[in-house]
Amino acid sequence: MNAPLRSVSEGLRLSTPYLLFLGDIEQPSYAKTAFGLADWAPDLCVGEWSMLDGGITTGLPKMTPEQARAKGARSLVIGVANPGGVIPQSWVAALVEALDAGLEVVSGLHRPLSSIPELVDAAARNGKRLVDVRVPPENIPVGTGRKRTGKRLLTVGTDCALGKKYTAMALHRALVSRGLKADFRATGQTGIMISGAGMPMDAVVSDFESGAAEVLSPDAASDHWDVVEGQGSLFNPSFAAVSLGLLHGSQPDVFVVCHDPTRKQIIGVDGFALPTIEEVIDLTIRLGKLTNPAIRCGGVSLNTSALREAEAARLMEAEGERLHGLPVGDPMRGGRGFERLVDSCLA
């Protein structure tokens, strides 16, 4: 999927297929790694394993590590992306069970698996690896702001965990289907696991964020598109830093705003209302002009997964009218709205 780039994935080798671990979480937005793998790489997944009865589900078969190993699984992937990227003590026994069943453990969380003695012991006892995906490469340069050749599209959001990765992957697929040269540039653990390449932007030291984004999307042919997966939100008090560094470093010619119309508050923090789509467009253009004065908004991607089809269609049409004709679509539903969004990005 990706042209060569110096990234975290150099030398990264994941043993597939996967058993997706959902831990003991109850909030679907924290299971975006599991959902992303189940939706975009189902051929790599044999099932899911939750510590809760009747909890959230990706729709994959439910099985224990022993059952998954018998079905051919080679790795347990922690399918959770929780605040702070922590591995709680309540998960440790389950992860040890997976290692004892003969599975490697793969994590995209901030806390290294190797920092947990019980896991280190179990991995050594079973001759299995502990694989941390969220480790940036060494010697990332400081950003230069130099305008690079090629075209770039960045997905941005009104908040975290509402469709930036899905939108970027759908747009990449649409560009390729139209015969265009394009690469998906993953910036988070799930995208890296799916595509096999990328840069874990939220694990990069702040001074090197824009430089990491420059490495991620290097000079390219004038007709080539890099579709860059967005991270965080400029309006999220916890994660705005990574969003700004990614914006400056990726120098997008076009950005698409991703939004969940059913969400009213910033996730994970109290007292912060979700910004409007117009506020995101305005701030993204004002800040993005620093490294690309020609930056523009290509349209809006709505996550309408909580709505019925007719209700979603009415909402997308109404939002398009409210935004003065700016194309609005749902990448997972496709259809005319999404095709108009693609057309606008390429205009």
**In terms of CATH architecture, what is 18-132?**
3-Layer(aba) Sandwich (3.40)
Asked whether the predicted pLDDT for residue 326 surpasses 50, the reply is yes
Percent of the chain with pLDDT over 70: 97
31-76 residue pLDDT tens: 989 999 999 999 999 999 999 988 899 999 999 999 999 999 999 9
Q: Mind spelling out the 3-state secondary structure of 264-303?
A: CECCCCCCCECCCHHHHHHHHHHHHCCCCCCCEEEEEEEC
Residues of the chain with CATH 3.40.50.720: 18-132
- pLDDT-derived band at 12, boundaries 50, 70, 90: low
- pLDDT-derived band at 346, boundaries 50, 70, 90: very high
62-112 residue pLDDT tens: 999 999 999 999 999 999 988 778 899 999 999 999 999 999 999 999 899
CA 63 – CA 45 distance, rounded (Å): 12
- For 91-122, give the DSSP string: HHHHHHHHHHTT-EEEE-SSS-GGG-HHHHHH
274-310 residue pLDDT tens: 999 999 999 999 999 999 999 999 999 999 999 999 9
Residues of the chain with CATH 3.40.50.300: 151-346
Find out whether 173 and 227 touch, Cβ atoms under 8 Å: no
| Structure confidence at residue 81 (pLDDT) | 84
Bond prior to 17 in cis (omega within 30° of 0): yes
**Phi, psi for residue 3 in degrees, rounded to 5:** -70, 160
CA 201 – CA 199 distance, rounded (Å): 6
CA 188 – CA 8 distance, rounded (Å): 11
**In terms of CATH architecture, what is 151-346?**
3-Layer(aba) Sandwich (3.40)
Write out the two tokens for 42. Answer: 């189902």
